[in-house]
Chains A and B, each alone.
Chain A
Amino acid sequence: MSLESIQLDKVSKRFRLGASHEYGRLTEAIVSGVKNLVRKAPNPRPKLSLDSFANRMEDDWFWALRDIQLSIQSGDIVGIVGRNGAGKSTLLKILARIVTPTLGRVGVRGRVGSLLEVGTGFHPELTGRENVFLNGAILGMPRSEIRKRFDEIVAFAEIESFLETPVKRYSSGMAVRLAFAVAAHLEPDVLIIDEVLSVGDQAFQRKCLGKASQLGAQGRTVLVVSHNLAAVANLCHRAVLLQDGRLIADDVPERIIDQYLSEMRSGDGQRSWDDDASAPSSREIRLRSISVRGNGIDSPASEVDIDQEIFVVVDYRVLIAGTPVSVQIQVRDETGAFVFWSANAPSMNLEPDPWFGKQYPVGMYRSECGMPANFLNDTRYFVSVLIGPEVGVVALRQDSALSFVVHDTGAMRQEYTGSWLGPVVRPRLNWRTSKL
């Protein structure tokens, strides 16, 4: 007998971008309401229909999920795979009932628990005992059940002697242990694990995944979002692939992972938008192309040698005169780990850029970011490009716009041939020994 545990029926979710600016204040909402009344104009909100949105980004609206059709049987362990920004977290939040879908219907059988929010609702002034009851109640455990499992929880967290101490006096390790102990003793019918959002260390994440397979073996439904593809392959019976808010594949994990990786690897070191309509753009700026080039090579390359300087080249058009521009890049590795973020600003620049802080006239521009040779390791990296009026402000973004591979030429490992420790960067640093 297989029983449907989760059902998503044509679920879509859109968010308003910059909502805090527009209707964030009551006075503004009233003013705009009165304006509409006076003008007798219809409400300017876009009509709620998916068909009218060819683009994912429409004015101030952004479709985080579109038309998701998914049904999961109880006892299934399902992995959700996709790039950053593909809509994985939104999907989980809808399942956890935190976010209401804009369109469509969601049904879930039984209690939903999430290991993504360990310690939510902990209050520093309350004692360990009081927090166990409060946190358990927030997670959906009846008081009788908490009372029954109280000793177990405390023993698991190893905090017996601190039960009557306010949590504000706990070490952070103790607080996390207690929080995890409560979450681990919750027995939800549907368990949601979002590794991206969880703050724990490696050991903690292993514990989470261990808990997941244990619950799955008990016939409960488990949903996993993880950048650890090996974990998804080992743990899950089934996986789905999300791309730009759509569910594009639903298969056994191995095939989904293959498809995901081939999607990620596509590209020849350049991504360009010839068509104005499809190019990522804000009111002031339109992206033209993004490319990666090795030192001394004029054409884009998706593979770069480790001993070469690497350039990320961003071409864009300024549409409105007087726009200040700050180009920013984010580099991640294949597991989604954040390697670094950099912006064109004097504090992050080796030499000052004469265009920094200037008001750009209308026209085409190229911003380049040069990364030193012998800095990144020999693996694949993903570049996201963000452009805004100033550092830290984002008007338009293109997540994981392209990827490139750094190749080990052997020049850097003449002495050592084992696998390299520390996978993300491999800088050449300044070493000296002197006799004292």
Chain B
Amino acid sequence: MAQDDDSIPHPNPASIPPMQFYGPTDAFGFGQLGEIWRTRELLYSFFLRDLLIRYRQVVVGLLWVFLQPLMGMLIFMGLFFVLGTKAGNSTVAYPPIILTGMLCWQLVASSFRDATASLVNYRHVVTKIYFPRMLLPLASLTCAVFDFVVGSLLLFPVCAITETSIVWSTAWLALPIALWLILFCAGCIAWLSALNAHYRDVGYALPFALQLGMFVSPVVYDVERLRTILTDPWIWLYEANPIATCIGLLRWSLLGTQPPSALGMAVAAIITLSVCFSGLAWFQHADQQLADRI
């Protein structure tokens, strides 16, 4: 071994970083959370990048954040008007019902879609530089959350026009409910993005799954309307879908509709937690071979 004995000391001996060993620190992938926290500035940079790219070279710019849920709302309102079907069965006017559904669904759909493709789209970065890979799908999620939060402002004019009153006493609960939905999305995209990096089939199957998901969640109709068709055990099964539960809860907290059943909520909560924990562990496992396989 050739070694210079008079090697120059580290430029700043006071701040000698500790020796860091690579590899998982725990089997459940909790170590990733600390790493994400330490690199949150990079998450912000990725978020900013996605946001800037999205609204570059478009004429109406950020207006799209409002246009997307508004168009969705108008399309289905028109559709049900032409068909003469009633999609809502509550005392609340239909437009705010469908708008809350649309906002939630666009959070789910756009975060799933963008996050699933994120690792593969940034393959050239992932295979050349290290950073916590979870940041890429999370950046897609933060973008979707941004759209969700800004788009929510539409509720005020829509409620005003339809003369619907927001239930202020429970409205603050909308925040934890939205966080629940975001948490569920985070768990799912941890699964989807890493799966797609290994098996591209996931990306091809996703659009169909999302189409199906939109109709098995109360996006364009409300649960009261569904209760006129489905009986009890089926309703519980339906509410076990965390997306359905969250939309139902959100409408309850803001508009005062019927809340989902306690049993459905409990199952949905268990599903959410298991998706999150398993997603974390799976992502860490998949990450080990990501650069070789992607």
Contact = CB atoms under 8 A, between A and B. Distances in A.
Interface of A: 1-4, 7, 15-16, 19, 24-27, 29, 73-76, 93, 96-101, 105-112, 114, 116-117, 120-121, 123, 125-126, 130, 133-134, 137-140, 142-143, 166, 189, 217-220, 237-238, 250-252
A47 to B, nearest CB: 18
A218 B8 contact: yes
B293 A19 contact: yes
Contacts of A96: 129-130
B128 A120 contact: yes
Given A121-B125, A138-B42, A2 B7 contact: yes
B26 interface: no
Contacts of B291: 93, 98-100
Contact of B125 (A112, A120, A166, A218): A120
B2 A98 contact: no
B157 interface: no
A137 B195 contact: no
Contacts of A97: 22, 130
A123 B49 contact: yes
Given A26-B199, A107-B20, A109-B19, A73 B9 contact: no
A220 B16 CA distance: 11
Contacts of A107: 19-22
A143 B44 CA distance: 10
Interface stretch (B51-59, B177-185, B233-241, B270-278): B51-59
A295 B201 CA distance: 55
A219 B8 contact: yes
Given A117-B128, A120-B129, A138-B125, A109 B20 contact: yes
Given A110-B17, A120-B125, A99 B292 contact: yes
A73 B201 CA distance: 46
A73 B17 contact: no
A307 B23 CA distance: 57
B27 to A, nearest CB: 15
Nearest to B53: A125
A430 B10 CA distance: 60
Contacts of A24: 199-200
A16 B198 CA distance: 13
A101 B22 CA distance: 9
A134 B201 CA distance: 30
B10 A75 contact: yes
A118 B249 CA distance: 49
Contact of A29 (B9, B17, B199): B199
Contacts of A219: 7-11
B127 interface: yes
A25 B199 contact: yes
Contacts of A110: 16-17
A20 to B, nearest CB: 9
Given A98-B291, A219-B10, A109 B18 contact: yes
Given A97-B130, A126-B49, A237 B9 contact: no
Nearest to A221: B10
A75 to B, nearest CB: 4
A421 to B, nearest CB: 36
Contacts of B232: none
B228 interface: no
Interface of B: 1-5, 7-11, 16-23, 41-42, 44-46, 48-49, 52-53, 56-57, 122, 124-131, 195, 198-202, 287-289, 291-293
Contacts of B200: 24-25
B22 A26 contact: no
A2 B10 CA distance: 9
A125 B51 CA distance: 11
Given A97-B22, A123-B49, A73 B16 contact: no
7 contacts: A97-B22, A100-B22, A105-B21, A109-B17, A121-B125, A125-B53, A238-B2
Given A109-B20, A219-B10, A26 B2 contact: no
Given A4-B19, A100-B288, 18 more contacts: A25-B200, A76-B7, A97-B130, A100-B287, A106-B22, A107-B22, A110-B16, A111-B17, A116-B128, A120-B125, A133-B45, A134-B45, A138-B125, A189-B10, A218-B11, A220-B10, A237-B3, A238-B2
Contact of A74 (B7, B23, B53, B289): B7
A333 B22 CA distance: 37
Contacts of B3: 2, 73, 76, 237-238
B151 to A, nearest CB: 23
Nearest to A111: B17
A3 B22 contact: no
A235 to B, nearest CB: 13
A138 B10 contact: no
A116 B128 CA distance: 8
Nearest to B5: A2
A114 B200 CA distance: 30
A3 B45 contact: no
A26 B42 contact: no
A54 B49 CA distance: 49
A126 B131 CA distance: 21
